[in-house]
């Protein structure tokens, strides 16, 4: 019984250490727009839900808008859209690209500067591919505040000089559920980063 208790305490200590590390990355590297470094390779916009009518959910629309503004201000040279592409039925990238081209003119966002990662099935995959496939050296990540610490941690583990900007522009449904799920994902991706599994 004593060994079981000690084992459980060790596991809890590891879990809370992971949370502390993630929170540290969030506190250090999430900045407001005025404090962000300039002339980064790209702004990485992470995918999220797409509605049945072909429009991005509020969460995704705000990530896109926040990221596109960084490009328009010339803080980043390109925009890397990364998300889930399961074909004709569900294609986040198609919706994301269309939203940007619809809401920003070609003068503001050049289509040739939109990089498309069709295999960003998870945050871990997106950051791995940003480095290995798109050769990103410096980036600003546009996603929600709760999501940024993990995304930054993964990106920096892969050698990307990454910062984050929170895209939260309103209240979102099911946010408490997302935050709980995010804590579990932090543990999973911390292990993947330590082991460099791919």
Q: By residue range, what is the domain housing residue 33? A: 18-195
Please count the structural domains in the chain.
Answer: 1
pLDDT given for residue 197 in this prediction: 66
Residue 158 maps to a domain: yes
Residue 2 maps to a domain: no
Name the band, by pLDDT with cuts 50, 70 and 90, for residue 50. confident
Residue 44 maps to a domain: yes
Average pLDDT over residues 84-110: 82
pTM over 0.85? The answer is yes
Question: How many angstroms separate the CA atoms of 163 and 106, rounded?
Answer: 26
Q: Please, what is the Cα angle at 137 between 119 and 34, to 5 degrees?
A: 105
Question: How many angstroms separate the CA atoms of 89 and 98, rounded?
Answer: 16
Q: Is the pLDDT of residue 79 over 90?
A: yes
Residue 69 maps to a domain: yes
Give the model confidence (pLDDT) of 126-176 as tens digits.
999 999 999 999 999 999 999 999 999 999 999 999 999 999 999 988 889
Name the band, by pLDDT with cuts 50, 70 and 90, for residue 27. very high
Residue 9 maps to a domain: no
Which of these, 18, 76, 84, 81, lies nearest to 44 by C-alpha position? 81
Residue 5 maps to a domain: no
pLDDT given for residue 173 in this prediction: 85
pLDDT given for residue 151 in this prediction: 97
Residue 8 maps to a domain: no
Q: Is the pLDDT of residue 8 over 90?
A: no
State the chain's mean pLDDT as an integer: 91
Report the CATH number that the domain containing residue 164 is assigned in CATH.
3.40.50.620
């Amino acid at each position: 019984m004593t060994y079981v208790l000690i084992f459980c305490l060790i596991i809890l200590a590891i879990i809370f250490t992971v949370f502390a590390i993630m929170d540290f990355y969030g506190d250090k590297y999430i900045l407001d727009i005025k404090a962000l470094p300039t002339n980064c390779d790209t702004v990485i916009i992470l995918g999220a839900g797409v509605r049945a009518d072909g429009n991005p959910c509020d969460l995704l629309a705000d990530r896109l808008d926040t990221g596109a503004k960084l490009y328009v201000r010339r803080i980043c040279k390109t925009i890397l859209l990364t998300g889930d592409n399961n074909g004709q039925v569900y294609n986040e990238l198609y919706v994301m690209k269309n939203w940007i081209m619809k809401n920003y003119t070609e003068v503001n966002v050049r289509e040739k500067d939109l990089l498309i990662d069709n295999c960003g099935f998870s945050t871990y995959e997106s950051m791995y591919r940003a480095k290995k496939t798109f050769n990103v050296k410096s980036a600003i990540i546009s996603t929600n505040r709760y999501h940024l610490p993990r995304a930054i941690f993964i990106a920096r583990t892969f050698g990307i000089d990454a910062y984050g900007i929170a895209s939260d522009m309103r209240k979102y449904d099911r946010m408490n559920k997302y935050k709980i799920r995010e804590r579990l994902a932090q543990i999973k991706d911390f292990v993947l980063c330590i082991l460099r599994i791919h």
